[in-house]
Structure formats: C-alpha cells, structure tokens
Amino acid sequence: MKVGFIGLGIMGKPMSKNLLKAGHEVVVLGRKRHIVEELIAAGAQSAASPREVAERVAVVITMLPNSPQVKEVVLGKNGVIEGMKVGSALIDMSSIAPLVSREISQELARRGVEMLDAPVSGGESRAIDGTLSVMVGGKKEVFEKYYDVMKAMAASVVLTGAIGAGNVTKLANQVIIALNIAAMSEAMVLATKVGVDPELVYEAIKGGLAGSAVLDAKLPQALNRKFNPGFRINLMTKDLSNALDTAHGIGAPLPLTASVMEMMQALKTGGFGDLDHGAIVRYYEEMAQVEVKRSSRADRDQ
C-alpha cells in the first residue's frame, strides 16, 4: 500500500522504516532534512507539504507532538484535508486529546475521508524493533482495512472503541506508567536512604506482585544514572495534561495523576524536561538527598 507519513521524530523515523521493511511505499514529510534524506536512502519518497503527501497516497499517518500540531497539519493551509481523496483515510498515531480526535474526524468526514486515532506505547526501542502497542479508535471496517499497515509497526494493534477511544486508552496507559515510575522512585529512594542496596531490593521483588514492565525498564536507568530519552518528561507532561483536562471535563478526579504532574513540572522547571520520564526518581532524590545507583560488588560484600 502507498502510505504517507508525517512526523519523523524519535518515534516516527523508525516507524517509517518499518513500513518500508514491510514492503509499503512510503511518502514522508518531516522538519529535519537529514532525517528525510536518511529515509529516502532507505527507499522512501519525500513531499513538500501535508497536502502533497495526501495527494499521493491512499492513507496518511501522522505522528506529531500534540493536538495543535495535528490540527495544523491536517486542517490548516496546505493541510492533509486539502489533498485527501474520497475513501482515503487518516491514521493519527500521535497522542492527543480525545475530543480533538473527534473534531478532526468530523471535518474529514465532510470530505468523505475516514479516520482512526491510533496512539502508540512502547517508546523508541519498540518503535525501532516494530513491537509497539497500538490503541485504536474508529470504525471496525476501517480498522480492518488498515490493520496490516499498523501491524507493520507493532506487536499489538487493538480496536478499543469509536473515534477518540484510542486516545482515551493511551491516557489511561500514561497514567498507569507515570504512577508506576513514581511508586518505584519512592520505594527505591526509601531503600537507599535506609542503606539497603536498591539493586538487591529489585532482585528480591521483581518476581512478585510488585514486579512490572515499568520496574524492569526504568530502575536500570536510575541504577546506571542514564536517563537518555525513550520518552521525554516534556511529552509525558503533555499526556498527563490531556488526561487531567479530559478528566476535569467529565468529572473524574485524578488526584494521584495531579501529584505526579506537579513532580514533572518541577523537573521541567529545573531543566530536566528533555530527560526520560524515568528521571522522576531525581525529584525524590533531591528531597531525600540520596542517589539511587548501582553499588560496586565490593560494597555489597562488606
């Protein structure tokens, strides 16, 4: 299938490459020319505007930072909507506000264009190896038509409901991840402050009920003091802001999410917004005046 891909950042670039590996023709558009050239070398074609991308393909995928960027690219001047044919489709794989997904879908429907909101989870490493989880909202028949396109980038692609449901599912996913990282941080700072090796605590608890994919992924970052972004704090605060806005609109209190959001805002203010969201541990470390890190074997044996 001929696929357009707009947004070639940390996630979008490897996702585009996986579409090429799966045999799809891909027309790309991104802000950084060297990334576009890298994808052209891998077999992609390039376009000069969202409208041109849409004119040349059957389905357009967007992978952009937030709601305003998606609205601009899809509905703005020279936007995707101006180039899409009746019967074509937009798959927005960005993480945006569910109500914005519905608004964009309604505008596209007036032109005879279908839409799926299909945000992803898994971070850069899973984008690279094609094992993302995709949470999809939209019509079942549209989902089935483009399932193989999405599956080329993912291990799991699940239809969760009507348009907007994909982003509601993503918000729930982000709330769980953020709270898990905060809980891990509290626990490991506690252990460190008392004088117990956090790595040994991890070895003891990871096989029990406290074990989780979040613990397995994020504690090693802290122990190694490496917070290279798989998913930046800046992006997580955007997702939690969308979660809180959505929750306030429907009367669903999220007190724990609000607390973690304030921790992340403090880290952003401190200049850590471009670190991985696993760096939440640094908020707790600062308060407790300790550092969660790997001990040497000699230290353990004493």
Rounded CA separation 76/50 (Å): 9
Strands (E), the chain: 2-6, 25-29, 45-46, 59-62, 89-92, 114-117, 120-121, 132-137, 154-161
The gap from C-alpha 147 to its chain's centroid, in whole angstroms, comes to 19
On whether the CB atoms of residues 6 and 53 are closer than 8 A, the answer is yes
Q: Please indicate whether residue 170 is annotated as part of the active site.
A: yes
Please pick, among 170, 193, 226, 238, the residue that the annotation labels catalytic.
170
Phi, psi of 200 (to 5 degrees): -70, -35
End-to-end Cα distance, the chain: 62
- Give the number of residues written for the chain: 302
Instruction: Tell me the catalytic residues.
Output: 170
